[in-house]
Amino acid sequence: MKVMLIILDGMGDRPCEELNGKTPLEAAYTPNMDYLSEKGINGIMDPIAPGIRAGSDTAHLSILGYDPYEVYTGRGPFEAAGEGLVLRPGDIAFRCNFSTVDENMNVIDRRAGRIKEGTHELAEVLNGMEIDGVKVIFKESVEHRAVLVLRGDGLSPYVSDADPHKLGSVYEVRALKSGAERTAEIVNEFVERSYATLNKHTVNMKRRENGLMPANIVLPRGAGMVPQMDSIEEKHGISTGAIAGVSIVKGVCRLAGMEVLDVKGARGTAESDFGAKIGAALDYLKNGDFVLVNIKAPDLFGHDGDPAGKKEIIEKIDLAMARLKEALDNTIIAVTADHSTPCDIMDHSGDPVPLLIAGKGVRTDDIRKFGERTAAEGGLCRIRGKDILNILLQLAGLSEKFGA
């Protein structure tokens, strides 16, 4: 049998007053996920461990069977790999935001109004600059996101973030260990140059004319070097594919040796073509063994504190899952999240996420509606993210016996 793992990014939530005490998933009309829930087994999952507020990168690492405490060196390398950049030994990579600051370098919008157009032109004027003999490689990603790679001698990943992660003054990058002082100075210089270059760029002049936030600075964070990871194929002897719209997930999957599929309309936004992602996953499984599908949209509404919007996007995703019913005879299908993003806190939390597994031969339980509280009553009970791949592969008959 084949395996499809669908990760609804940030789907987990807490009860919302606006939804009469229900979570967005509980309040949503989800006949297709409910069907899979009824035909399968349910439980809750701690992506890393109970109470740990997982990032999307560390959560996906754990779900794919890696120990994030061993292989995670920072988010930057995964973002860079996700954008197709090939890192060399000694390169330092950062994830970045195009952001908006005022003349006093105070951040007034970390995402530059969730800019959707013009970032390629902005990235072009930053890419290729040199600072103290170090080459700057810069590339835009989805919406406000971008990646930065510093290439040169004597660089260190042990530097702090320029992004304050909140409104307020841009942080001065500091060395976190001895020997990282020069790298910190280079990053600070890059941030200053990004403002000087972008603030008067024609893209931002037009945005101001149209009443939009200018993307007038780049704020790097998550410095790291590329980790050494055995591929899933090497570990389990299976062919693997991945479908995602955001660079961070693409990067994790690429560094895990997975084939990252290019699907038209598959973006890391609320406008992503969810049906195209599901269709491409089913097509991949005609020859491949395992495919991961990441759908970013629920996380966006959680970060925006919009429970009604999160409920509606979950309903749209559910519509795209209708054709999965026909695949249950030859495919083990799992639906879960990489973390919870409760609308009331507008950030990741350490709450466990709901999980369902459906397919031929799967033991069923009595759950009929997929949700955080119903899943907690299911037969899977409570597991950790590092266990899910082993569970799915053995259900599909793709795992090796341990021992005689």
Query: Is the per-residue pLDDT at 84 higher than 90?
Result: no
Residue 371: other Cβ atoms inside 10 A = 22
pLDDT digits (tens, 9 = 90+) for 277-333: 999 999 999 999 999 999 999 999 999 999 999 999 999 999 999 999 999 999 999
- In terms of CATH, what superfamily is 2-72+228-395? Alkaline Phosphatase, subunit A (3.40.720.10)
Per-residue pLDDT at 237 = 95
Residue range 232-259: mean pLDDT, rounded: 94
Per-residue pLDDT at 338 = 98
Query: Is the per-residue pLDDT at 404 higher than 90?
Result: no
Contact 393, 236 (CB under 8 A): yes
Per-residue pLDDT at 269 = 85
Per-residue pLDDT at 247 = 84
Domain boundaries defined on the chain: 2-72+228-395, 87-224
Q: What is the mean pLDDT of the chain?
A: 95
List the 2-8 sheet strands across, edge first.
259-260, 240-243, 290-295, 2-8, 331-336, 353-358, 40-46, 381-384
The C-alpha atoms of residue 76 and residue 251 are separated, in whole angstroms, by: 9
The C-alpha atoms of residue 182 and residue 188 are separated, in whole angstroms, by: 10
pLDDT digits (tens, 9 = 90+) for 21-70: 999 999 999 999 999 999 999 999 999 999 999 999 999 999 999 999 99
Query: Is the per-residue pLDDT at 246 higher than 90?
Result: no
Query: Is the per-residue pLDDT at 369 higher than 90?
Result: yes
Per-residue pLDDT at 364 = 97
pTM for the full model? 0.84
Query: Is the per-residue pLDDT at 126 higher than 90?
Result: yes
Residue range 231-248: mean pLDDT, rounded: 94
The C-alpha atoms of residue 396 and residue 172 are separated, in whole angstroms, by: 51
**Ordered alpha helix ranges (H), 163-212:** 181-198, 202-209
Q: Which two tokens stand for residue 353?
A: 């996420």
pLDDT digits (tens, 9 = 90+) for 259-269: 999 999 888 88
Out of 79-88, 184-193, 369-378, 387-396, pick the least confident: 79-88
Distances (CA, A) of 34 to 368, 371, 375: 6, 9, 11
- Report the percentage of the chain scoring pLDDT > 90: 88
Backbone phi, psi, residue 117, to 5°: -135, 150
